[in-house]
A and B are shown apart, each in its own frame.
Chain A
Amino acid sequence: MPRIKDNMPVIIMGVFLLVYGLIVNTGVLLPAMKYLHTHKSMDLQVMMSFILGGLALVGALINSAKEPGNSVFDRFFLQPLGGVIMILLMAMAIRWYLEPMVKIMSASLQPVLGFKLYKVLNLNYVVLGILAGVVLTNSYGIPKFAEAGVKCARFVLKMGVIMLGARYSFAELAKLGVYSVWLIGFFVLGTVFLVLWLGNLFKQPKSMTGVLSAGMGVCGVSATVAVAPVVKAKSTEMAYTIGTILSFGIICMFVFPTIGKLAGMNAVQFGAWAGTGILNSAQVAAAALAFNAVDIKTLKVAEIFNITRVLFLPVIVLVLATWFGKETGQKLSFKSVVIDKFPLFILGFLILFGMSSAGLFSPPGHYKGKYIDVSYNDRTQVTPEEWEVLNKAMAAGEFKGLTAEQMAAVNDLIHQRQIAGNYQDRNDKTKFDQVGRARMTELEGILAAAKAKTVSISAEVKSAIKHAVKQVHKKSKTVVTLTDFMIWFFAFGLIGLGMQITKKSITQAGGWPIVMGVISGTTKATLSFFVVLWLVKDVVLH
């Protein structure tokens, strides 16, 4: 084995993974994993460690024994293997150790700081992954054995974008009124063109302007990743865009709720504004909850506006492909953009979105795999003890201060022992579903009122109602698994992306992307504020 020395790092990683898998399998690490809240991933940890460890050892041994060749097996498996294993090892360390530790640390710092550092700085696997890549490449440098593997990053990122389609459904879009969709479309396209204009004004590279416009217009990280290959953006430019969006979002997260309250916005108006003006889904949710933690409506509206933006992704890709083609002097017809230039991976996003909307992964009305099932079912009943608690409370007249609808919903919960439509209407699915959902909303209203202390119910009753509501909230295992794949693809791709960012490339770009990001973001936030106040009334949702 003449080349065993060159392959030693891969062999060491392989042995490490196998030993780690064995240790996790014995259960010795269970207390630590429970502390980190990663114990649910125990099986996955064992499986991934064994498979990757085995592959690393086999690949390294073949590489040591055989002359390097140029076959498909060499180019796509043997050569990139070292780098792929290294990045996956880093992704595992980030997802199972670093991210949970950051979460725990920021939670313990909360009493001192008054906020969760993890949420505010958005220190999730996306940011941690890029940072890990940047730190490695600027300290030790990319090891020689990993060079070919790092080249897989963009390819894997594209797989992440395709998988993103599985999380959304057309039914969400249909919930919005027509003018809400126009509103979002106007702001998405408006921001894109504003950034393109600013880029021209500040004489920035086309690739930088293109990727930033998508990031600022659509939805942060995924749009950036999706558009980057279309406008031939460099990794530094992608990282700059992601950094600009996230830091702008952090400011918005604090400023939006305060302004919303000062302006006297209602729940729906604020949701619409946050969903339009803030770019990162996690930050949208944080702002909506900061504005109103009790009324779930704000968060729901914000999330729907937010995902509608994501669904503009294919349109923006087309617009930017045309723009980039024209800017670089190519003569492009509509046909050449739509058919020849349209990136196949965006088509993949659309295929998965289509499958998701057709209800292949989860009922068509789902959102990120979550859906409500109010069908008549033994399994969604409350426990006999909980039923007893509710029944006694009703007999004792404990439910005071509820609205007539809320009272009716509680009565029905006692009567049917679960949240569902009327049993006699079970053949008329639409009516049955509508009645069941309305009852669920009323019960959620009771819980919110109890939280806000406007009604007083005992802890047992609250827990029984909570359980009943929880029973009808389902989560599709298929979408959860597909999302897991997406997260791993993004983690892998972003670590690889971080590895392309050197000190030199950062100084080359200067501070212009941030200036452009701040100008376009502020313009969009201000304009959408007035438009929402003016146009959005209380009933946006059907």
Chain B
Amino acid sequence: MSEKNMTENKADANEERALSVFSSERNEDLTALVFCLITTFMVLLFTKWLA
């Protein structure tokens, strides 16, 4: 692999990492899903069930 390609791959990996604090994509998705379900439950609780 040429040096240019390696630098490009490294830049891509950095870009990939730059937008995430999570160790893997799956963890990120799972956390987003859990957070959203909690949010939805809370919203339902305060705007529908307790309102």
CB within 8 Å of B: which residues of A?
Answer: 75-76, 79-80, 148, 150-155, 158-159, 162-163, 166, 229, 232, 234-235, 343-345, 347-348, 351-352, 355, 360-361, 477-478, 481-482, 485, 496-497, 500
Contacts and interface: CB of A to CB of B under 8 A. Distances in A.
A355 B37 CA distance: 11
A521 B31 CA distance: 35
B31 to A, nearest CB: 7
Closest 9 CB pairs of A and B: A344-B29, A154-B19, A162-B36, A158-B32, A348-B33, A477-B47, A478-B47, A345-B29, A151-B21
A477 to B, nearest CB: 4
Contact of B21 (A152, A360, A482, A497): A152
A481 B33 contact: no
A159 B36 contact: yes
Given A155-B28, A155-B31, A496 B37 contact: no
Contact of A235 (B17, B19, B21, B30): B19
Q: From DSSP, what is the main secondary structure of chain A's interface residues?
A: helix
B11 to A, nearest CB: 9
A478 B51 CA distance: 10
A526 B39 CA distance: 42
A214 to B, nearest CB: 17
A345 B26 CA distance: 9
A477 B49 CA distance: 11
Interface residues of B, number: 28
Given A158-B32, A166-B40, A229-B25, A481 B47 contact: yes
A347 B31 CA distance: 13
B3 interface: no
Contacts of B15: 234-235, 500
B39 A485 contact: yes
A481 B44 CA distance: 9
Contacts of B37: 348, 351
B18 A155 contact: no
Give the one of B17, B33, B39 with max A CB within 10 A: B33
B1 to A, nearest CB: 15
B47 A151 contact: no
Nearest to B23: A75
A496 B44 contact: no
A151 B48 contact: no
Given A155-B31, A163-B39, 4 more contacts: A79-B21, A151-B17, A158-B29, A159-B35
